[in-house]
Structure 1
Amino acid sequence: MYDSVLIPTDGSKAATAAVYEGIELAAQNQATVHALYVVEPIPLGGFTSGPAPASSEWDDVVDEQRAEGDEAATEVVEAAESFDLEVVEAVEYGKPAGVILEYADEHDIDAIVMGTHGRSGVDRVVIGSVTETVVRRSQVPVLVVRTDGEGD
């Protein structure tokens, strides 16, 4: 039924919970797992006041985000490989919801498995904005995974 399962991750607790659900779904169908991390186009950390940072400082932030992405995607890869599943790893740049939807379309993804919210959505009560956008706009089924104790 599912030949390819996309697991977008940002390394957050909610995303990590979704990783195992996604891998389980893929294992039941012997599907290929696509591990995707999206680096935001605007650096999110470190520079909250004062003069604009130098170009090299922005480069450092982007490099740090890329390293975080590689680490988060590698976690998915390692978990999927432990089930002897084929894995495709990708780190992309852009707005997360749009990139996830584009990736799903371009790679003929059959299902998307993601957490209710990631790092930027921790304060959201029900569902994160990235997840909500993906659920509303996806052409394929989206399995949304809650973390333990969420919504209590």
Structure 2
Amino acid sequence: MTILVAYDGSGPARKAVEHAFVTYPDEEIVLLRVVEAASGSTTAGFDLAREYLKDRRDEIAEKGFDEVPEFENPDDVEFSTEVAVGQPAAEIVTFAEDHDVAHIIVGSHGRTGVSRVLLGSVAERIVRRSPVPVTVVR
């Protein structure tokens, strides 16, 4: 069984990872970090934006998970990391569909303050769109 954990570096996302390690220590755990793509790109700037996002994805893939070994992982649970580019909720659900994920674990929120209100809740969108069960960790 594959467990997908949405990871953005926030406190709730770190708790989601720790929850996965404790609850599913013998399962395949994948941490997915989504490099958020800006919406509203014009056709003229599309190639430039795509190249920037590819570079950013590669940068995060190389060093974006440096803090993961610091998680509370008492049983040395094995996990893998993946990076996607796009809108977080859509990319997380798509990854789950494409990789036969059985369960998604997500932190209750990654953003705070005004940006969270304006941009909506990624966790809520994942819960609404997911084809598999979702656990939201607070």
TM-score interval w.r.t. the shorter chain? 0.7 to 0.9
- Quick check: 1:25 aligned with 2:23? yes
Q: Which one has a bigger Cα radius of gyration?
A: 1
Unmatched 5+ stretches in structure 1: 44-54, 147-152
State whether residues 23 and 79 of structure 1, in contact with CA within 8 Å, keep that contact through their aligned partners in structure 2.
no
Q: Which moved more, 1:6-15 or 1:64-73?
A: 64-73
Q: What is aligned with 1:37?
A: 33
- Quick check: 1:132 aligned with 2:128? no
Deviation of residue 25 (structure 1)? 1.8
Aligned identity (percent) is 37
State whether residues 14 and 116 of structure 1, in contact with CA within 8 Å, keep that contact through their aligned partners in structure 2.
yes
State whether residues 4 and 29 of structure 2, in contact with CA within 8 Å, keep that contact through their aligned partners in structure 1.
yes
Unmatched 5+ stretches in structure 2: 40-47
Deviation of residue 62 (structure 1)? 7.2
Distance 1:70 1:100, change over 3 A: farther
Paired residue type of 1:31 = E
Residue deviations 1:124-149, cap 9 Å, x none? Answer: 58xx6111010011111111011xxx
The structure in which a higher percent of residues are strand is: 2
Deviation of residue 82 (structure 1)? 5.8
The number of equivalent residue pairs is 126
Q: What is aligned with 1:10?
A: 8
Q: What is aligned with 1:150?
A: none
The SS at the match of 2:19 is helix
Q: TM-score, normalised by structure 2?
A: 0.73
Residue deviations 1:97-145, cap 9 Å, x none? Answer: 01000111111111111111113xx1358xx611101001111111101
Q: TM-score, normalised by structure 1?
A: 0.67
Q: What is aligned with 1:118?
A: 110
The SS at the match of 1:24 is helix
| TM-align CA RMSD | 3.1
Q: What is aligned with 2:81?
A: 89
* In structure 1, distance between residues paired with 2:12 and 2:73: 21
State whether residues 7 and 19 of structure 1, in contact with CA within 8 Å, keep that contact through their aligned partners in structure 2.
yes
The SS at the match of 1:17 is helix
